[in-house]
């Protein structure tokens, strides 16, 4: 085969080789908006070929686990429903344990996916009803179509004594045109208006990482994300190592000074997931393009949603 350029299968870095599992963030780590970060599909494929198990752990409230599986496949990432751990699933589990049995009324600020999680937890969603300002629980999760009426009704319910549950405290999340306000911005507004403090269930709370580890099994795990206050802090709370990629919300200066105040320090800082997993050197020759991946058949809507 004279003249043929040999193909090289990438190998993983020594740092990543030391772990059995990787818990990967989505926004800012695997993609920004609808575009994968540089060589992220190749990095994930290489992890799988190296025998590493992965979970996708996200605070993004805009989609269900099933929808994330479809997006992952559409962008070239192989993924199963069991590997996706969403904050919506964590919300559903939390609400089911504390309020589901008594069919508590809930006012929900969030996407249709979050409303389904609240309903599937056994709560009565009272959005649009006369009793909404007197709901027993307010659930807050950022979404793109937030209107003042939602803030007003949620504030009224909180002032009347409703329990306050939030998906997380992410200040922002990266999009192609810059940073967008995240769930944390919504939560801050409601906390300021009501004088109440929300209970959060997503990252950096450790429970969502525990859910992922339950699915992955025994082994050493590395959390990879783009936020110090969410991904790195959550890894620390769960007793795990954390690495920061600079393809999302954190600058190199911020990452390099992390821990100066006594907080956690990342075990690694990389430009993106590809650099963390593959190192800086690209393969000698790209592997031939494969046919576009086809997503697997997914279970009916609602299946397994309590687990995320």
Determine the pLDDT at residue 76.
95
Are 38 and 51 within one domain? yes
The 3-state DSSP class for residue 57 equals: strand
Range of 52's domain? Answer: 14-87+204-278
Are 81 and 113 within one domain? no
Q: Across the strands, what pairs with 53?
A: 21
Are 134 and 162 within one domain? yes
Q: How many domains does the chain have?
A: 2
Can you tell me the distance from the alpha carbon of 26 to that of 240, in angstroms, rounded to the nearest whole number? 18
Determine the pLDDT at residue 47.
97
Q: Would you say residue 7 lies in a domain?
A: no
Q: Would you say residue 136 lies in a domain?
A: yes
Are 172 and 110 within one domain? yes
What pLDDT digit, counting tens, does each position of 120-163 carry? Answer: 999 999 999 999 999 999 999 999 899 999 999 999 999 999 99
What pLDDT digit, counting tens, does each position of 107-129 carry? Answer: 999 999 899 999 999 999 999 99
Domain boundary among the residues 151, 170, 200 is at: 200
Determine the pLDDT at residue 305.
40
Active site residue 27: yes
Share of the chain above pLDDT 90, in %: 73
Instruction: Say which of 20, 27, 120, 170 is annotated catalytic.
Output: 27
**Mean pLDDT, residues 176-205 taken together:** 93
Are 78 and 218 within one domain? yes
CATH of the domain at 233: 3.40.50.1000
Are 45 and 176 within one domain? no
Instruction: Say which of 20, 25, 170, 297 is annotated catalytic.
Output: 25
Are 69 and 111 within one domain? no
**Mean pLDDT, residues 82-91 taken together:** 92
CB 274 within 8 A of CB 37: yes
**Rounded to two decimals, what is the model's pTM?**
0.79
Residues 6+ apart with CB under 8 A from 23: 54, 55, 57, 209, 212, 213, 221, 222, 223, 224, 235, 240
Determine the pLDDT at residue 291.
52
pLDDT-derived band at 282, boundaries 50, 70, 90 = very low
Q: Would you say residue 285 lies in a domain?
A: no
Residue 260 DSSP label? T
Active site residue 25: yes
Are 29 and 55 within one domain? yes
pLDDT above 90 (res 240): yes
Are 62 and 210 within one domain? yes
Are 66 and 125 within one domain? no
Are 47 and 196 within one domain? no
């Amino acid at each position: 085969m004279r003249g043929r350029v040999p193909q090289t299968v990438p190998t993983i870095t020594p740092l990543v080789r030391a772990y059995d599992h990787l818990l990967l963030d989505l926004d800012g780590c695997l993609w920004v908006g609808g575009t994968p970060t540089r060589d992220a599909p190749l990095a994930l494929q290489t992890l799988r070929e190296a025998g590493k198990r992965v979970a996708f752990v996200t605070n993004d409230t805009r989609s269900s686990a099933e929808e994330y599986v479809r997006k992952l496949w559409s962008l070239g990432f192989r993924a199963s429903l069991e590997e996706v751990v969403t904050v919506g699933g964590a919300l559903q589990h939390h609400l089911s344990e504390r309020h589901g049995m008594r069919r508590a009324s809930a006012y929900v600020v969030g996407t249709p996916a979050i409303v389904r999680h609240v309903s599937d937890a056994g709560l009565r969603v009272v959005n649009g009803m006369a009793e909404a300002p007197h709901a027993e629980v307010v659930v807050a999760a950022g979404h793109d179509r937030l209107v003042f009426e939602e803030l007003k009704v949620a504030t009224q319910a909180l002032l009347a004594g409703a329990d306050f549950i939030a998906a997380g405290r992410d200040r922002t999340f990266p999009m192609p045109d810059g940073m967008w306000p995240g769930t944390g911005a919504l939560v801050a507004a409601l906390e300021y208006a009501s004088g109440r403090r929300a209970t959060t269930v997503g990252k950096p709370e450790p429970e969502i990482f525990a859910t992922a580890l339950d699915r992955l099994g025994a082994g050493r795990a590395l959390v990879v994300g783009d936020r110090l206050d969410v991904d790195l802090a959550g890894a620390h709370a769960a007793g795990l190592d954390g690495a920061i990629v600079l393809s999302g919300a954190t600058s190199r200066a911020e990452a390099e000074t992390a821990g100066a105040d006594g907080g956690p320090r990342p075990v690694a800082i990389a430009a993106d997931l590809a650099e963390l997993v593959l190192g800086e050197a690209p393969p000698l020759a790209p592997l031939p393009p494969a046919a576009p991946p086809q997503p697997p058949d997914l279970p009916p809507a609602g299946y397994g949603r309590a687990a995320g």
